[in-house]
Amino acid sequence: MLKRRFTIKRRTYFVLKTSVIAPFLFFSLVSAVFATSLPSRQVLQQGSHCVAWRTTKTLALVSQHEVVGVSCQVSVTAKSAAGEKYSATVSIPINSFNSQEADRDKEVLKILKASVQPNLLFTTQAFSKAQWEALLAKGQGTVKGRLAVGGRSFPLAAIVKIRKNGGSIEVYGTIRTRFTAFGIQPPEVGPGGAIAKVPDYLELHFNLTSDKVQNYGIVK
């Protein structure tokens, strides 16, 4: 009799435990699906000289929201390299990103360690003038380089697209990556992200114009 009661209690406990845990597991799985399937959309306008980050956040383990931070305080400098090659360095002040939420922008400063390195720096690999011209003629191609953030350097590759806009040339595209690729833990609020959680998914958008590039004349 005692054994039977014990068995019933164990089954009851298991059912209750499952009924509590199952929704959390379900919403975690849903979050993972949403995290890697953001619908593609144009974040930056044609003609702009800006960059942006884009991801999602989950509120109370249920509600999904897109989050975007934009900076148009972008500096691009063409530089000469050895062997008659040329590279470009893109510099973005971290405090210039605007996500329409001041507290979040302050948190981004901490996450990206702006106190250690105030600007994000992306330096492309060096190409010969002929290689840059071939990329321009083709209208797209892969550009590799390194992104410096928080005093550390990480490899980064982008499939760039090129279009002419009047007398200017625009380079644009989207890089789909992860926070952890740059040594960053996705932010969360509350135990296990119960209040708000950001998945390990990050998009980097860029739309840059040649008339804003410093030293552009060296590759003309």
Q: What is the pLDDT of residues 144-203, one digit of tens each?
A: 999 999 999 999 999 999 999 888 999 999 999 999 999 998 877 655 544 567 889 999
- 99 contacts: CB under 8 Å, gap ≥ 6: 67, 68, 69, 70, 105, 108
What pLDDT, on a 0 to 100 scale, did the predictor assign at position 40? 87
Give the pLDDT band of residue 24 (cuts 50, 70, 90). very low
Q: Collapse the DSSP code of 55 into the 3-class scheme (helix H, G, I; strand E, B; otherwise coil) and give the result.
A: strand
pTM for the whole thing? 0.78
The residue written with tokens 């090659």 in the block is 85
pLDDT at 6 over 90: no
Q: What is the mean pLDDT of the chain?
A: 81
What pLDDT, on a 0 to 100 scale, did the predictor assign at position 190? 58
pLDDT at 105 over 90: yes
Least confidently predicted of 2-6, 53-57, 64-68: 2-6
- The CATH architecture of the domain made up of 39-219 is Beta Barrel (2.40)
The phi, psi pair for 30, rounded to 5°, reads: -60, -40
Query: Among residues of the chain, what percentage have pLDDT more than 90?
Result: 60
The phi, psi pair for 25, rounded to 5°, reads: -65, -40
Choose between 126 and 187: higher pLDDT. 126
